[in-house]
Amino acid sequence: MNIIILGPQGCGKGTQAEMLAEKFNLVHIEMGSALRKQAAEDTPLGKKLDEIVNRKRELVSDDIVADVIREEAKRIPADKGIILDGAPRKMSQIDEAEDTFKENGRKLEKVIFVKISESESVNRISKRCACSKCGKGFILGKDPVNLKGICPECGGKIIRRKDDTPDGVKKRLEIFNRETIPVLDYYRNKGLLMEINGEKNINNVFEDIVNKLKRKK
Ligand SMILES: [Zn+2]
């Protein structure tokens, strides 16, 4: 099975992608962590990424996003499926994201859209914080470790991302609506889109996805 999973900030697609990867024996490619991981590698692509992501702190271009996905896909055994999380996030990334599947003889079967409302997205993201050292995420009021403000994994300080404010979230939602909604429309027209209500609890969302995946097979 080869799947793309997309959705606005805070929709929980990362968690769902991990659960799906485990259930269906897929490799989860998450763009943010793939970028960070490859930026730390001593390769020509790694050096280029380090320059853009860590030094200049700029957004990476479509070409580089494609290189990163291709590199990740190359490392996956041919008999394993992929769940691609967070790409393509705009129309100009579609061809190259799909080429990556094709290059390895894989076929994109479904695109999952985890939908939540704008107010839910703002609400969830404003409660989010993360470890400044290892990057692990936490939810305020939910994970008790936050009371101490120390990461249980590595002892780093837990902080809130500067742009995880209602205004920051709204700005990113605008970009999602402008750039990613057309991608979802494109897959809807191809009959590949699966829309999922992301406002239920994690297990119910997962159940919905699994049921829909089974039905369409
Ligand atoms: Zn940590």
**For residue range 48-66, what is the model confidence (pLDDT) as tens digits?**
999 988 888 888 888 888 8
Task: Kindly give the distance from the C-alpha atom of residue 130 to the centroid of ligand 1, in angstroms, as a whole number.
Answer: 8
Topology at the third CATH level for domain 3-117+167-215:
Rossmann fold (3.40.50)
Asked whether the beta carbons of 1 and 21 are under 8 A apart, the reply is no
Burial, 86: exposed, middle or buried (Cβ in 10 Å; 0-12, 13-18, 19+)?
A: buried
Task: Kindly give the distance from the C-alpha atom of residue 212 to the centroid of ligand 1, in angstroms, as a whole number.
Answer: 36
Task: Kindly give the distance from the C-alpha atom of residue 132 to the centroid of ligand 1, in angstroms, as a whole number.
Answer: 7
Task: Kindly give the distance from the C-alpha atom of residue 216 to the centroid of ligand 1, in angstroms, as a whole number.
Answer: 40
Q: Where does the pLDDT of residue 143 fall: very low under 50, low under 70, confident under 90, or very high at 90 and above?
A: low
Report helix, strand or coil for 129. Answer: strand
Per-domain residue ranges of the chain: 3-117+167-215
Q: What is the pLDDT of residues 164-194, one digit of tens each?
A: 888 888 998 999 999 999 999 999 999 999 9
Q: Give CA–CA dist 119/61, Å, rounded.
A: 30
- Which two structure tokens, joined as six digits, stand for 4? 């793309």
Asked whether the beta carbons of 69 and 84 are under 8 A apart, the reply is yes
